[in-house]
Amino acid sequence: MATDTLGEFEQVILLAVAHLGDEAYGAAIRHEIEARTGREVAVGALYTALERLERKRFVRSEMSAPTPRRGGRARRLFEMRPAGAAALKRSHDTLARMWNGLSPDLRRTR
Partner 1 sequence: MTGQCPRPPSRVALWLIERSLPARDREEALGDVREEYARLARHDAVPARRWLRRQALRSLTAIPQRLLPAAPPSSARVSRGRQVVRGLMGDLVFGHRLLRHQPLTAFAGLLSLAIGLGLNLLLFTLTNAILLTPLPLAGADRLVMVQMQRQDGIAMDFSYPFYQHLRTGSPNVFDTLVAYSSTTATARVAGPSEPLVGEYVSGNFFIDLAVPMAMGRGLTAADDTPDAPPTVVLSQARYRRYFGDVPLSGQQITLNRTAFTIVGVADRRFFGTEIGETADFWVAIGQMYAFEQEDYRNRPTVSWLALMGRLAPGVTRGAAQARLSPAATSFFDPLSYPPQTLLLADGWQGDSDLPRNVGRELRLLMAASLFLLLIACINVTNLQLARVGARRHELAVRAALGAGRARLALLIVADAIVVTVPAGLIALAAAALWKERAARLIAIWGQPVALALPVDAAVAGAALALTVASAGLIGGLSAALSLRRSPALLLAEGGRAHIGAASRSQRALVIVQFALSMTLAAGAALLVRSVDHLRDADMGFSRNIALIDVALGPAGYTGEMLPQYYQRAFDLVSRVPGVEGAAIAHVMPLDFGGSRQTIEIEGYVPADGEDMELNTVRVSPGYFNVMRLPVIAGREFTTGDTAGQPRRIIVNETMARRYWPNAQAVGRFARFYAPKPAGPRRFDVEIVGVVADARYRMVREDPRPTFYVSTSQQPISFFVLHVRTSGRPDARLGEIERAVANLDPNVPVRRAITLESQLDRNIADERMARSLALALGLAALVLAGTGLYATMAFAVRRRTREIGVRMALGADAGKVRMMVVRQGLALVVIGVTVGLTGALWTGRALQSQLYGVSPIDPISLIASAAVLAAAGLAASWLPARRATRINPVTALHDP
Residues that bind partner 1 (CB under 8 A): 25-27, 30, 40, 42-45, 47-48, 50-51, 55, 70-71, 73-76
User: Cβ closer to partner 1: 21 or 44?
Assistant: 44
CB of 31 vs partner 1, minimal distance in Å: 9
Amino acid identity at 28: A
Whole-number Å distance between alpha carbons of 110 and 3: 32
Nearest distance from residue 43's CB to partner 1, in Å?
A: 5
CB closer to partner 1, 5 vs 48: 48
Please report how close the Cβ of residue 104 comes to partner 1 at its closest, in angstroms.
30
Between 26-37 and 43-55, two packed helices, what is the crossing angle to 10 degrees? Answer: 110
Least distance from partner 1 to the Cβ atom of residue 93, Å? 28
Cβ proximity to partner 1, 76 vs 90, nearer residue: 76
| Beta carbon nearer to partner 1, 11 or 64 | 64
